Amino acid sequence: MGPLIPLGQISSGWDFIIALIIGIAFGFILEASGFSSSRNITGVFYGYNFVVLRFFFTAVIVAMIGLEYFDYMGWIDLNMIYILPTYLSPMIVGAIIMGVGFIIGGFCPGTSYTAIAIGKLDAIVFTLGLFLGIFIFSEIFPYIEDFYYSGNMGNITISEVLGISNKLFTFIFVIIAVIAFYVTWLIEKKVRKTINPYKFE
Amino acid sequence: MNKNYFILFGLLIVLSGGLLFLPEKTNYVQQSPESLMWDIVQPTRYISTDQVAKLIIEKDPLFQLVDVRPDYDFEAFSLPNSFNIPIDSILTDEANDIFNIEDVNTIFLSDDDIKADQAWVIAKRMGYKSVYVMKGGLNCWIRTIIQPQKPSESAPITEFELYNFRKGASIYFTGAELSTNSDIKQEVSITRKKKETVAEGGC
Amino acid sequence: MHVHEINPKKTLITLTIFVIVIIVGLLTITNPRLEYKLTPNETVELVVWDDSYVFPYELEDVIVGAVDTVILIDIRNTFDFSRGHIPGAENISAVELLSEDNIKRLKKLQKEGICVLIYGETQLQANGPWMVFRQLGFSNVKSLMGGYQYYALWKDNLADSYGDDGYLLGAADFDYSDIASNVNIDENEGDSEKTSITVNRRKKSTVAEGGC
């Protein structure tokens, strides 16, 4: 049945429309989860709020479990999914830079736009800086091109590197996520004097 | 911590644990037995030796010949421009590359048509489209193309035309001298490559 | 006020939907009616090493009724069947043979250890159907060497065909390279002397052995 475009179920002209719909949903969920507030985001660093970590872990494990089941049920063919190539050392460096920017700025690229949407001034400044950074990067790109393309590992997945099946890796990852949920909750309880958990039945 | 969170944790672990019990799925698309059987009962997959001879002589780029005999047989004799994929290596990546060339029809051939037909059934099951079988195989090739039988005097004109074509083809494929009977119309235009002189050189 | 507090049941509702989708998906997986029991690689092995042919001379025991563990199935069309067929054969086309009832019957025959011998006009005609049934796991389905044509040729003295090998397929009748290199067109007869084929002929089974 899927993926829809590579299998020719729908024409490739639909990809922008699908991207638009998914983008609206993504922005809505980010805002609804409170990610427009830089307090929530930097809270991971200061140890009083791990909602970002839990949010993304939840999204990842639900998607993983869902895709594995859908693959089994024949709704989507995971072998046809495009996997971005892995450039190991540039990715590590890039992740460090992004992490530093995350804590200093209080936004990630996606959440800065949702914050603009609700009219935050710091988010506007953050986005201007973002474009400035992109401009500087493209100007110095020729000098770092070799590093940028170094360490190409091809289109690999973690389960391929570890030599285990996708399903086993999903299971292991869910266990890790659940442990992370519990540990972050313990840390939050210790750091915050008055913990006021969401009411949820 | 709200105890409902533990219910959610448990649910996710059970769901992901359930994945481990799912049986392995084959990751290639196969033709179902029913539609495979429908294809088998149609005789459309057979291509006569005369057609194959024509395709080779005309150097038709839309067809490729795949010889499924063992490699030592293939080395002893093979049709011009044919690939050798012994039937036991029909599922290898190299074979896959050959079958998967777009818009090119594959014709299987072997000593007779049984092995080629079996190769065809396997290829069809694996979902390859546009695969064919050379009817009669190389035995038939020798009988019809290389050693054509002269039709009887009372045979219809088409038989004679076919015979003349086969004779021409025989000359093409064997390089035999023709001790001409003047009334032979040659239908086949033979474009044999000129022997290159050294001066011409490569490209 | 957090979004959760507007509707505290939101998380549970979402997760319930997720679980229901997966359960519905698992329940509605349509299992194909027929599934290949042999992997493609096993199929290749089958056709390279197969020995599940029945030799024409073995038919004699079946026809006279000495062996009752063999069922003959004629996959030719009804017209050809009505013009002549091997005694005791049933006329079922290859596609029909895949129908629910016939698959059930084949399964039952397989359990009872009864051999199903399919034949067509030539061996080639029965080859495809034979391969399909073998791939579906019916190891009791066999194919008649030489097909009906060969049987019709020898039907009066079938046992004598033991000494003949005209039904053998899959072997070269000619030394191709030899012929292809020196052909004299005018010799139309074309001395098509057969190169001696080494036949690993199965020993003629005694009546008592029978079956598959």
State how far the Cα of B85 lies from the Cα of B66, in Å rounded to an integer: 6
| Beta bridge partner(s), residue B104 | none
Domain shared by A56 and A143, yes or no: no
Domain shared by A68 and A98, yes or no: no
Residue A99 lies in a domain: yes
pLDDT category at A140 given cuts 50, 70, 90 is very high
Residue A200 lies in a domain: no
Residue A198 lies in a domain: no
The predicted pLDDT at position B201 comes to 39
Domain shared by A3 and A79, yes or no: yes
B118–C94: do the CB atoms touch at under 8 Å?
Answer: no
DSSP 8-state secondary structure symbol assigned to residue A13: G
C3–A32: do the CB atoms touch at under 8 Å?
Answer: yes
Domain shared by A79 and A29, yes or no: yes
Contacts of B169 in chain C (CB under 8 A): none
- Judge if pTM exceeds 0.80: no
Please say if the pLDDT value at position B105 is more than 80: yes
Look up residue B54 and give its two tokens. Answer: 């024509």
Domain ranges of chain B: 33-142
Instruction: Looking at the complex, report in whole angstroms how far the Cα of residue C36 sits from the nearest Cα belonging to chain A.
Output: 18
C25–A69: do the CB atoms touch at under 8 Å?
Answer: yes
Task: Give the mean pLDDT of C180-209.
Answer: 45
State how far the Cα of B19 lies from the Cα of A66, in Å rounded to an integer: 10
| Tens digit of each residue's pLDDT (9 = 90 or more) over B169-198 | 888 887 655 444 444 444 444 444 444 444
Please say if the pLDDT value at position C50 is more than 70: no
Look up residue C74 and give its two tokens. Answer: 């004629």
Q: How many domains, in total, are found in chain A?
A: 2
The predicted pLDDT at position B193 comes to 46
Please say if the pLDDT value at position C144 is more than 50: yes
DSSP string, C20-46: HHHHHHHHT----SS--SS-HHHHHHH
Question: B96-104: long-range contacts (C-beta < 8 A, 24 or more apart)?
Answer: B98/B64, B98/B66, B99/B66, B99/B123, B99/B128, B99/B131, B100/B128, B101/B64, B103/B62, B104/B61, B104/B62, B104/B63, B104/B64, B104/B130
**Owning domain of residue A150:** 84-156
Planar angle of CA C112, C116, C118, nearest 5 degrees:
175
B20–A174: do the CB atoms touch at under 8 Å?
Answer: no
Residue A199 lies in a domain: no
Contacts of A1 in chain C (CB under 8 A): none
Please say if the pLDDT value at position B64 is more than 60: yes
Q: Which fold has domain B33-142?
A: Oxidized Rhodanese; domain 1 (3.40.250)
The predicted pLDDT at position C164 comes to 67
| Tens digit of each residue's pLDDT (9 = 90 or more) over C152-191 | 877 777 766 666 666 666 566 667 766 666 544 443 433 4
The predicted pLDDT at position C209 comes to 41
The class that CATH gives domain C40-164 is alpha beta
Domain shared by A79 and A2, yes or no: yes
pLDDT category at A194 given cuts 50, 70, 90 is low
| Test mutation, B16, B20, B30, chain A, max A CBs within 10 A | B16
Q: C34 to each of A106, B37, C98, C109, C138, how far by Cα in Å? A: 58, 12, 9, 17, 12
- C114 compared with C186, residue with greater pLDDT: C114
